Amino acid sequence: MYEMIAFYLFSALTIGLFMVTVMSKNVLYAMTSLASAMVLISGFFFILGADFLGVVQLIVYVGAIMALYSFAMMFFDATRDIKEKNTNNALVFLLGGLSALVLVLIFAAPIHSDAIHALYPIHEGAGNAQDVGIVLFTKYLVPFEVAAVMLLVAMIAGIILAGKKMDHSLTKDLDADDEILVVKDRK
């Protein structure tokens, strides 16, 4: 009973908030509704009894959307509306509608729930985090390790891209001071 109320509440709120994310022309509204919808999604995990995944959803998306916010802060004036440039409204409608349809089909497929068996049922007595760990380090070991290597590669690439001139300081660089002085002299 409580679970059903919670489920419908979370569903309505999540769908509504994602609608705001897509429809709104204000960066601040879009980002905030995205963040709160992501937090609400963790509610579904809690209802299903997957506490660990719920908290992971919370932590990961709070951090990820915080990074998105910082981009929004750099590129837009957050208090004004943005003029969107849609060259072809029909195309946008068609592509959006098609991808929505595909997603609905994918997620409606398990409607034949008789055909679904839990390959790795939860262990009695073991906690949620332990179960996730068991599956990660047995069945999904290779994808897990590949994902880890991929993240490492991305991190090293990021450091190399950002760190080209890391060895000389912007504030203590004498050449930089000279350049500023030269510009001043020209004026």
Partner 1 sequence: MEVTWIGVLIKAIIILAVISAIAGFGTYIERKVLAFMQRRLGPMHVGPYGLLQIAADGIKLFTKEDIVPQNANAFIFKIAPVITAATAFIALSAVPVFPDFTIPSWIPVLGGTFVPSIASDLNIGVLFVLGMMAAGLYGPLLAGMSQANKWGIIGAARTAVQFLSYEVVTGLSILAPIMLVGSLSFVDFNAYQAGGIGDWLVWKQPVAFVLFLIAGFAETNRTPFDLLEHEAEVVSGYATEYSGMRWGMFFIGEYANMITVSVIAAVVFLGGYDAAGTLGWLFIMAKIAFFFFLMLWVRAAWPHVRPDQLMWLCWKVLMPLAVVNIVITALVMMV
Tell me which residue of 111, 125, 131, 108 sits closest to 50, measured CA to CA. 131
Cβ 8 to partner 1 shortest distance, Å: 20
By beta-carbon proximity to partner 1, the closer residue of 103 and 145 is 145
Cβ 11 to partner 1 shortest distance, Å: 21
By beta-carbon proximity to partner 1, the closer residue of 13 and 39 is 39
The encoded tokens of residue 31 equal 């980002």
Cβ 21 to partner 1 shortest distance, Å: 14
By beta-carbon proximity to partner 1, the closer residue of 100 and 136 is 136
The DSSP code for 122 is P
Query: Phi and psi (nearest 5°) for 83?
Result: -85, 115
Q: Please name the helix (run of DSSP H) or strand (run of DSSP E) that holds residue 161, with its range, or none.
A: helix 141-162
Cβ 174 to partner 1 shortest distance, Å: 19
- Interaction site with partner 1 (CB under 8 A): 26, 28-29, 32, 35, 39, 51-52, 55-56, 58-59, 62-63, 66-67, 69-70, 72-73, 78-79, 127-129
Cβ 112 to partner 1 shortest distance, Å: 33
C-alpha–C-alpha distance, residues 17 and 9, integer Å:
12
The encoded tokens of residue 165 equal 């001139």
The DSSP code for 100 is H
By beta-carbon proximity to partner 1, the closer residue of 44 and 128 is 128
Q: Beta-carbon neighbour count of residue 31 at 10 Å? A: 21
By beta-carbon proximity to partner 1, the closer residue of 74 and 183 is 74
